[in-house]
Structure 1
Amino acid sequence: MSEALVATEVPEASASGASGARQFWRRLRAQRAAMVAASVVALLVLVALAAPLLTALEGQDPTTYHPSLVDSARGGVPIGSFGGIGADHWLGVEPQTGRDLFARLVYGARVSLGVALTATAVQVLLGVVVGVAAALGNRWVDQLLSRITDIIVAMPLMIMALALLAIVPSSFPRPVLVALIIGFVAWGTIGKIARAQTLTLKELDYVAAARLSGWGTVRIARRELLPGLAAPVITYAALMVPANISIEASLSFLGVGVKPPTPSWGQMLSSADVWYQAAPQYLLLPAAALFITVLALTVLGDGVRTALDPRAASRLRIGTGRKQESKAGQEGSA
């Protein structure tokens, strides 16, 4: 009898999961702004992954100096129109050094996106583990982990990151270090979200039934609680990625993030502040790349949040008009 019940319940559960995934994609595809943002993000990721191929097609690399392409008599201003743009240098060259801007820009995408995604993964891992452990532990464990989470949330991220980056030896790979520091210092909010959601989920009937059947705490967390945490965690993680890109750029701009010759958009902005009149493209290109990336990821994160929770209205209201809103209201009333 029990085998028959299991045989009938498993397909229903898998069908329910498949149906939920289809509904999520349908809601996400219905948001034009989110789909445009997803296309932009996919293009940025493709550019970052294909950076060696793209620079090989151009015939340049991000670290080679070209002193013959800058005018030393004018302080290192690129020779030629629009910062030295030409067939050999598609976006011109860097002032003083003559390094290729296109190569540094596409390799900088690797660093910025890689640091942001790695930091987000660390934040999600630490936050979920600590939040679930606090919610499932006894009163003393919950109090201890909750106070640690409160301390992490109260820490000033930039000040802590600046202090830690200043004391770590320069031999440690800088992009990895920046990602780990951001992840270890900024997981508190997602830890609070995971704890609150777990406290709600563990009071539900199916979790109580699993506990009465003899399942251990780890098995209950893995099989029953983590699937319920997926929606809020994915939603918040999607919004953390653009924030982490901004943090990495800020740290590199302050001179304590990614170090030369490794290219980074924030580092390019840091060294471009004195060239905005003589070579404006040196400032505008990384600034535009940062703006487009953060905007696209923010819009995509908002779209994911709305698709996972259709009851919540989009905060940005991009790509929605009065006709769409009235149509959604008619469908809801029907």
Structure 2
Amino acid sequence: MSEALVTVETAGTEAPVPAASGTRQFWRRLRAQRAALVAAAVVALLVLVALAAPLLTALEGQDPTTYHPSLVDSARGGVPIGSFGGISADHWLGVEPQTGRDMFARLVYGAQVSLGVALAATVLQVVLGVAMGVASGLGNRWVDQVLSRITDIFVSMPLMIMALALLAVVPSGFPRPVLVALIIALVAGWSTTAKMVRAQTLTLKNLDYVAASRLSGWSTWRTAVRELLPGLAAPVITYSALLIPSNISAEAALSFLGVGVKPPTPSWGQMLTSADVWYQAAPQYLLLPAAALFVTVFALTVLGDGVRVALDPRAASRLRIGTGRRLEARADKGVPATDKADAVAMQNDAVAGKKEDRA
């Protein structure tokens, strides 16, 4: 297949320039968004902290489960001794009220649980949602109706009530983080993913290349894998990036209500459960996990929005046209382009304008 070319008019001449691949365009559009880059750096740091939790706590010399009763004032109800919640060289963020457990160790190990549960739930949601959506979109009328009704049932299920019901029947020895991830994945999220994928599948299967593959005798499975999944990649990745912060909030809410991760396993939501009575005597016990949750969810939301813009050609075109107009206005005022990228953007917008005039 011949390589696609993009024509750029410069100084009255036309020079063929190879078009950037989809991956290169995605990274270029993502790098153009400074907020998304900062959010990506924050998310990468949080993931690194979660993975390195054993090493970080070993450097501090603490662990998340050991009690230190000598570091709390029993006469005052268990308030940490010392300023700022008992911060010291041995306890970098102080200690937990009543128990004296190290706050830094519980925070970094809580990042493991919160991020791990959210990522596991997201993977399950995407796999199940894509499978149900593609099967519904490619199936006959009866298959579509049955799968759509099943999806509607799960859309209407309340997460908290279903979580309470499932936790009542699941044996207590079952790993609680795994159970929370399964509940979030099976009750919330996958049904919305399935409806989105079904709508995209119904649109894509009417395109010529998909219809040709089906008329040529390809099986439904081969058509889905070879023709549909590449077209579904962009919306699925975009939606997955936005699912992760929602799942983190869901895990925190379940743990806060007492139906999520149980002590002594640390979790940010579970830490907030017992912090509401200490916000005056030991405010750091409430502020630290709340700040960690806020930063994580906010960074993932900004990153997800940046991925959406980078994967959406229409949004990227609007950004490029707007940038070109600003640069053109700067040029009219005698302000030169700041760098080569600005000059290229102006040239591309000029070419697009000339083509529109010819049309």
TM-score, normalised to structure 2, is 0.84
Q: Does the alignment pair 1:279 with 2:282?
A: yes
Please list, as runs of the form range in 1=range in 2, the aligned pairs for 1:18-57 lying within 5 A after superposition.
19-57=21-59
Q: 1:17 to 1:285 in 2, by over 3 A?
A: farther
Measured in 1, the distance between the counterparts of 2:57 and 2:177 equals: 21
SS at match of 2:172: coil
| Structure 1 match to 2:13 | none
Cα distance per residue 1:123-162 (max 9 Å; x no partner): 1011000010011111110000001111111112222223
| Structure 2 match to 1:168 | 170
| Structure 1 match to 2:12 | none
**Structure 1 residue 205: Cα displacement:** 1.0
Measured in 2, the distance between the counterparts of 1:85 and 1:145 equals: 55
**Structure 1 residue 17: Cα displacement:** 11
Cα distance per residue 1:57-94 (max 9 Å; x no partner): 00000000001111111111001111110000000000
| Structure 1 match to 2:222 | 219
Please list, as runs of the form range in 1=range in 2, the aligned pairs for 1:85-164 lying within 5 A after superposition.
85-164=87-166
Alignment size in residue pairs = 318
| Structure 2 match to 1:5 | none
Unaligned runs of 5+ in 1: 1-7
Measured in 1, the distance between the counterparts of 2:29 and 2:258 equals: 42
Q: Does the alignment pair 1:202 with 2:202?
A: no
Q: Does the alignment pair 1:82 with 2:84?
A: yes
Measured in 1, the distance between the counterparts of 2:75 and 2:308 equals: 54
SS at match of 2:144: helix
**Structure 1 residue 324: Cα displacement:** 8.6
Amino acid in structure 1 at the alignment position of 2:37: M
State the identity %: 80
Measured in 2, the distance between the counterparts of 1:297 and 1:194 equals: 22
Measured in 2, the distance between the counterparts of 1:176 and 1:155 equals: 20
Measured in 2, the distance between the counterparts of 1:17 and 1:141 equals: 41
**Structure 1 residue 189: Cα displacement:** 0.6
User: In angstroms, what is the RMSD of aligned CA positions?
Assistant: 2.4
Amino acid in structure 2 at the alignment position of 1:304: V
Amino acid in structure 1 at the alignment position of 2:300: L
| Structure 2 match to 1:4 | none
Amino acid in structure 1 at the alignment position of 2:81: I
**Structure 1 residue 325: Cα displacement:** 7.9
Measured in 1, the distance between the counterparts of 2:24 and 2:193 equals: 26
| Structure 2 match to 1:67 | 69
Amino acid in structure 1 at the alignment position of 2:41: S
Conserved 8 A contact 1:62-1:101? yes
Cα distance per residue 1:188-227 (max 9 Å; x no partner): 1100011011111111111122122221110110111011
TM-score, normalised to structure 1, is 0.90
Conserved 8 A contact 1:149-1:192? yes
Amino acid in structure 1 at the alignment position of 2:284: Q
Measured in 1, the distance between the counterparts of 2:168 and 2:270 equals: 16
Q: 1:257 to 1:211 in 2, by over 3 A?
A: same
Measured in 1, the distance between the counterparts of 2:301 and 2:46 equals: 14
Measured in 2, the distance between the counterparts of 1:230 and 1:101 equals: 40
Amino acid in structure 1 at the alignment position of 2:307: V
Measured in 2, the distance between the counterparts of 1:244 and 1:18 equals: 35
| Structure 2 match to 1:235 | 238
